[in-house]
Amino acid sequence: GNSVTQMEGPVTLSEEAFLTINCTYTATGYPSLFWYVQYPGEGLQLLLKATKADDKGSNKGFEATYRKETTSFHLEKGSVQVSDSAVYFCALSDSSYKLIFGSGTRLLVRP
């Protein structure tokens, strides 16, 4: 079946460091791919998405590129801030409505 695999956390970085959170997927067909973020005490928010191969989603300095050849959708940011501390979820949608999530990666950014 379809699935999403994320790198395990927590990921601890100093402010202004470069961030990569790996995400790979298994799916039939051509799913849409998403990154959601959950800040402490808040609900899930869509961070970015990509709907077809080679698309790049971007938002708030974060980027992820849909790589069909490697079935990956890695999240990157060039310079993290303390306010980026949160749990990040990679997800795919193969049916236009049902989201399949990875297990989440906690990011802690220290001043």
Residues found near another protein in the complex (CB under 8 A): 32, 36, 42-46, 49, 51, 89, 91, 93, 96-104
- Least Cβ distance, residue 46 to another protein (angstroms): 5
- Cβ atoms of 87 and 38 within 8 Å: the answer is yes
- Cβ atoms of 90 and 101 within 8 Å: the answer is yes
Please say which residue, 34 or 80, places its beta carbon nearer to another protein: 34
- Least Cβ distance, residue 79 to another protein (angstroms): 26
Please say which residue, 17 or 38, places its beta carbon nearer to another protein: 38
Please say which residue, 4 or 80, places its beta carbon nearer to another protein: 4
One DSSP character per residue, 40-72 reads TTS-EEEEEEE-STT-EEEETTEEEE-BTTTTB
Closest CA to 102 of 56, 50, 35: 35
Please say which residue, 18 or 30, places its beta carbon nearer to another protein: 30
- Least Cβ distance, residue 64 to another protein (angstroms): 16
Strand partners, 89: 36
